Amino acid sequence: MKTLAAPALLLAAALAGCESTVNLPEPPHTPRVALLYTLTTAPQDSSFRALYAQRQLYVSNSQRVFDPSELTGRTDAAVELRDATGSVVERYRPTRSSNASSTGRGYYRPVLGFQPQAGQRYTLRAALPGLETAESSLVMPAPAVIESATYVARTAPNPGSNQYQGRLSVVLRDDPASTDYYLAFARVLDQQGQPGEWGAVDVDYDSQGSVVSIGQFQLSSPGQQYSLYPFADTGVNGQRIALASDVSFYRNCFQGQGNCAAPGYIEVYVSSITPDAYAFYLSRRRYYDSDDNPFAEPAPLATNVRPGYGLFGGAADATFRIRIF
């Protein structure tokens, strides 16, 4: 039988007796603009809604540290995008919502149809009544270069669950002249190359061959903020970068529902993201990992909005379409 060392027993006894209540003073708080936005080279009406929905502009105001209320978005923000000359190239207005308390409150969409260009500098400015105007700037990254991508089915489709499983491999040709940051996503298209009745292409966590590790080039899920795996080329700058993962997806259509189109393609998206976006996604993972852990180190979210909080990031997408059936 294993025995505990004396120091461990003393520590356990001390923790067991710690039941006193400690009143912590609330730190002072000045309300600021809080926003989240990823400027992208893709059109905002893209059919890959799961990906671009999370890139929408969201505006709110900061809350006190001890405020337990649910964060509520603001619909009265004035937001504009300026180019390097200071000219306004895009403006934003709230998305329509039939319910003022719905989860759609606080989201905005662009109205001028501006398309940002790689290598150009842009500044986002957001103002809320009574708060100091916040702004942030970035330089749009260049799209990644996808050298090759393959999908190999591992199992026959399951008639009961409509599940498809396979091995997805992607190879990037990395630019040696710059430090680059990437995110990878994938979706399914039908035989005509159109989105269909399928769920997201996700890492197959039930597969023994799937190991998700921070710091590796992995497939991310556009529908889950926690399942974003940003990758930096700092250790492999200028080399070919490979992603290889067991994946699965489901057809959300069953034979009793009528005509169920067969999948035809997997379309891979590799997003080149800005350094601030990379830092924000990493800090958000640390924040989620420390949730409800009283012994975790503080995990503040990275921000590049001044004065204020949040992220103004950029993403340039490269796509590669793989015929699967």
Residue 168 tokens, joined: 């997805």
C-beta of residue 244 within 8 angstroms of C-beta of residue 168 = yes
- Report d(CA 314, CA 140) in Å as an integer: 6
Length of the chain: 325
- Report d(CA 325, CA 323) in Å as an integer: 6
**Mean pLDDT along residues 194-201:** 81
Indicate the pTM of the whole model. Answer: 0.86
pLDDT at 199 over 90: no
**Mean pLDDT along residues 242-248:** 93
Per the listing, tokens 């091995």 go with: 167
pLDDT at 40 over 80: yes
pLDDT at 58 over 70: yes
- Report d(CA 127, CA 246) in Å as an integer: 45
**Mean pLDDT along residues 86-98:** 88
Do the domains at 33-141+301-314 and 146-274+319-323 have one common CATH topology?
Answer: yes
Whole-number pLDDT of residue 107 = 95
Q: Identify the three-state secondary structure at position 205.
A: coil
Sort strands 107-110 and 88-94 into parallel, antiparallel or unpaired: antiparallel
Residue of 109 and 160 predicted with greater confidence: 109
Whole-number pLDDT of residue 205 = 84
Whole-number pLDDT of residue 18 = 55
- Domain 33-141+301-314: assigned CATH number: 2.60.40
- Report d(CA 200, CA 185) in Å as an integer: 9
Computed on alpha carbons and rounded to an integer, the radius of gyration of the chain in Å comes to 23
C-beta of residue 126 within 8 angstroms of C-beta of residue 33 = yes
In this prediction, what percent of the chain has a pLDDT beyond 90? Answer: 57
Choosing among 3.40.50, 1.10.10, 2.60.40, 3.30.70, the CATH entry for 146-274+319-323 is 2.60.40
**Mean pLDDT along residues 103-108:** 84
Confidence of residue 293 (pLDDT cuts 50, 70, 90): confident
- Report d(CA 314, CA 325) in Å as an integer: 34
Confidence of residue 274 (pLDDT cuts 50, 70, 90): very high
Q: Identify the three-state secondary structure at position 96.
A: coil
Q: Where is mean pLDDT largest: 13-27, 59-73, 204-218, 301-315?
A: 301-315
Per the listing, tokens 């899920």 go with: 221
pLDDT at 171 over 50: yes
Give 275's contacts (C-beta < 8 A, 6+ positions apart): 179, 181
Confidence of residue 132 (pLDDT cuts 50, 70, 90): very high
pLDDT at 11 over 50: no
Long-range contacts of 60-64 (CB under 8 A, 24+ apart): 60/34, 60/35, 60/106, 61/31, 61/32, 61/33, 61/34, 61/128, 61/131, 62/29, 62/31, 62/32, 62/33, 62/34, 62/308, 62/309, 63/29, 64/26, 64/29
In 10 A of CB 132, how many CB atoms? 13
Whole-number pLDDT of residue 300 = 84
Whole-number pLDDT of residue 252 = 76
pLDDT at 285 over 60: yes
Confidence of residue 286 (pLDDT cuts 50, 70, 90): confident
Whole-number pLDDT of residue 296 = 72
C-beta of residue 83 within 8 angstroms of C-beta of residue 122 = yes
- Report d(CA 183, CA 118) in Å as an integer: 17
C-beta of residue 203 within 8 angstroms of C-beta of residue 249 = no
Helices (H), the chain: 6-16, 49-53, 275-289
Residue of 94 and 54 predicted with greater confidence: 94
47, 50, 55, 61: CA torsion to nearest 10: 130
Rounded to the nearest integer, the mean pLDDT of the chain is 85
Q: In the chain, what are the domain boundaries?
A: 33-141+301-314, 146-274+319-323
